[in-house]
Amino acid sequence: MKIPLLIALCLSALSAQAAPYLPASGAQVIETMPRRSDPAQQDIGRLRKQVRSSPNDVTLATALARRYIEIGRSETDPRYFGYAQAALAPWWHAKAPPHEVRLLRATLMQSTHHFAEAMADLDAITAADPANAQAWLTRATVQTVRGDYEGATASCARLSSLASQLASFACLGNVAGVTGRAAAGEQLLAQTLARNADAPREEQAWVLTLLAEMATRRGDAASAEARYRRALAASPRDSYLLGAYADFLLDQKRPREAAGLLREHQRIDALLLRYALALQQQPASKDQFGAAMKELDARFGAALQRGDSVHEREHARYTLHLRRDPKAALALAQQNWLVQKEPADTRLVLEAALAAGNRAAAEPIVRWVEKNRLEDVAIAGLIQRLRTPS
């Protein structure tokens, strides 16, 4: 059982595809390459050599793909996810590839929001191998993102006899936190984490991130802050965690801290967006803000040319808060909400509807929030504003 790898992918929703970058001069440092003496790079080199010698060896290919994913996660460099896909090229388009390939393909698919394709693979894996804990966890993650909470709960329940207690309760707690059982889910998960202090650092960081988000949604800033800091101590380059904590800092009106947190992580589009939002709130950072906006313009322009829909949440947020075009932002947010329904996606539609003065557009979202009993102080505040007569 290798739950930590799946944890990495389950939180890996931040995309790093970007427009080509032209340096200002030949003297400008674009990137510092990994040292050849780095053990991780030496391991990659060894595996790549073996795969070149035996390109159809599925054991070697999946080992290389997993290593790429691990490094991409630890280095906050999603380009390695592309390398992982390339390592699986002989089987990538197969209808029924080996299970090891199919699981990695599903997890990579879900990280780029190809949820239907990911679910097809996951359904096939769990039907043929119902003891596959990684498949059930990834399935629950996809179902939660899509708002299929009943299905996610059922998938999480399958983990109880297959994964660690902490991973199982984290899965269930994540669903409980958005279906009217936030307090009970948070308390149980916090107690389980305390009982599992020897869990792997990556697993602890995952659980602490979930707990921080739960505290944020119920308005407990002190608990959220403490948990985010503990998670960062365990996993300081986790891109999902960096984005979540930056959002917390922005909501707390602490843009300087958010900018400092993200200054070295602008390669990832979603983190560059948050960096620009932080700079926007600092009048003294006008030049840096202009440069960030120029880069975002180029990246979103390139994404549109590619027909890339992975960036829809970020594009809507950029259009609403940075370009200040609420009507266009509302259309983007609504399109994104059809694909994924996490609290951030729900909040974004409501913010855009409020800014655009289109209360009717918010009503289906409001009804969905009430039906699922989503508890989130920011979303509740937006709904109250939307229902207050002007």
pLDDT at 31 over 60: no
pLDDT at 7 over 60: no
User: For residue 45, what are its two tokens?
Assistant: 């080199």
More confident residue, 198 or 74: 198
What pLDDT was estimated at residue 291? 96
pLDDT at 176 over 90: yes
| Best CA proximity match to 351, nearest among 317, 388, 377, 300 | 317
What pLDDT was estimated at residue 26? 47
Calpha distance 13→347 (Å, rounded): 17
Calpha distance 359→115 (Å, rounded): 29
Segment 352-383, tens digit of pLDDT: 999 999 999 999 999 999 999 999 999 999 99
Of the given ranges (57-61, 107-111, 128-132, 173-177), which has the lowest mean pLDDT? 107-111
Q: Could you tell me the pLDDT band of residue 262, with boundaries at 50, 70 and 90?
A: very high
| Best CA proximity match to 334, nearest among 310, 292, 364 | 364
Of the given ranges (110-119, 330-339, 366-375), which has the lowest mean pLDDT? 110-119
pLDDT at 323 over 50: yes
What pLDDT was estimated at residue 303? 82
SS3 244: helix
Percentage of the residues of the chain whose pLDDT score is greater than 70: 89
pLDDT at 22 over 80: no
Calpha distance 304→19 (Å, rounded): 11
Calpha distance 163→168 (Å, rounded): 6
Calpha distance 155→384 (Å, rounded): 34
pLDDT at 30 over 50: no
pLDDT at 46 over 50: yes
User: For residue 275, what are its two tokens?
Assistant: 């960096």
Segment 203-253, tens digit of pLDDT: 999 999 999 999 999 999 999 999 999 999 999 989 899 999 999 999 999
What pLDDT was estimated at residue 305? 83
pLDDT at 339 over 80: yes
Segment 265-314, tens digit of pLDDT: 998 899 999 999 999 999 989 999 999 999 999 999 988 887 776 789 99
Average pLDDT of 154-178? 94
Calpha distance 358→361 (Å, rounded): 6
Segment 128-144, tens digit of pLDDT: 999 999 999 999 999 99
Calpha distance 380→385 (Å, rounded): 9
Kindly report whether the global pTM for this prediction surpasses the value 0.85.
yes
User: For residue 102, what are its two tokens?
Assistant: 């199919």
What pLDDT was estimated at residue 390? 72
User: How does DSSP assign 312-352, residue by residue?
Assistant: HHHHHHIIIIIS--HHHHHHHHHHHHHH---HHHHHHHHHH
SS3 91: helix
pLDDT at 57 over 80: yes
Average pLDDT of 164-187? 94
What pLDDT was estimated at residue 354? 98
Cα–Cα distances in Å, from 198 out to 203, 204, 224, 255, 290?
10, 9, 22, 35, 46
Mean pLDDT value across the chain = 89
Q: Which domains does the chain have, with CATH numbers?
A: 1-12+37-163 (1.25.40.10), 164-252 (1.25.40.10), 254-307 (no CATH), 311-390 (1.25.40)
What pLDDT was estimated at residue 107? 86
What pLDDT was estimated at residue 341? 96
Percentage of the residues of the chain whose pLDDT score is greater than 90: 76
What pLDDT was estimated at residue 10? 55
Calpha distance 184→112 (Å, rounded): 32
pLDDT at 193 over 60: yes
